[in-house]
Amino acid sequence: MPAAKTALVVIDVQRGILDLPSLSRKKEIDQALDETVVRIAGLIQRARTASVPVIYIQHDGGPGHRLEPGTSGWPLRLEITPQPGERVIHKLACDAFFETTLGAELAAAGIKQLVICGCMTQYCIDTTVRRAVSLGYDVILAADGHTTADTRTLRFEQIIAHHNALLDGFDAGEHEVRVCPVSEIRLS
C-alpha cells in the first residue's frame, strides 16, 4: 500500500506569538521558542526537499491583539519565510480548519496525513490536531516542534509534555495521532 500523501502544517510561528504580559520566565520561554523554530525550519527544509507541501497558518488577531495584522508581532518568523507557491492560510480562531480554506485545499491536493508543528500548544496545536483527526486525517505531531508560554498554573515544559502524552494515540475511527520527535519524522 502506498504511503498517504502528506502535508506539513506550520501553525502560528509569528514574531509576537509569545509576547504575553507578565511572563516571569521570558528568557527561558524565548530561548525555547527560538530552539523550536530552528527545528521547525529544518522540518520545512526536509519537506521542501521531499516535495511535501508546506502550509503556513497565520493567526489574525483583533484590534489591540499581539497578532493584529499590520503590527510588528503579526508576520511569520523570518526563519520560516514561505517560498513562492507555499500557501499561507489566515485564521481567526484556535482551530486552523474553522472558517478557513484549509480543509478544501487539503482535499483538493489529496492530502491524507498531516505533520503538525507550531505555537500555542494548548490552544491552536491541540485544537487543530484533534479537529484534523475527527475530519479523517492521520496526524504526526512534532513532539519537539511545538511550544507555548507559561500559564498561571503550569510551566511551558509541563504543557508540552502533557499534550504530547495526551495526544499520542488519540483517535477518531481509523485515524489517529502519533507524537514523534522532529528528527524521527519521515516525509515523503
Q: Which long-range contacts (CB under 8 A, 24 or more apart) does 29-36 make?
A: 29/149, 29/150, 29/156, 32/147, 32/156, 32/157, 33/119, 33/147, 36/119, 36/144, 36/145, 36/146, 36/147
Residue 110 placed within a domain? yes
Q: What residue numbers bound the domain in which 118 lies? A: 6-184
Catalytic residues: 124
pLDDT of residue 26: 87
Kindly report, residue by residue over 37-83, the tens digit of the pLDDT.
999 999 999 999 999 999 999 999 999 999 999 999 999 999 999 99
How many residues are given for the chain? 188
| Residue 69 resides in a domain | yes
pLDDT of 21 reads 74
Q: Which of 20-24, 29-33, 88-92, 100-104 has the lowest mean pLDDT?
A: 20-24
- Domain membership of residue 140 (yes or no) is yes
Residue 1 lies in a domain: no
**Residue 93 falls within a domain, yes or no?**
yes
Residue 10 included in any domain: yes
Q: What is the pLDDT of residues 72-103, one digit of tens each?
A: 999 999 999 999 999 999 999 999 999 999 99
Say how many domains are in the chain: 1
Residue 1: its pLDDT value, please? 38
CATH classification at residue 58: 3.40.50.850
- Report the pLDDT value the prediction gives residue 3, as an integer from 0 to 100: 63
Residue 141 lies in a domain: yes
In a domain, 82, yes or no: yes
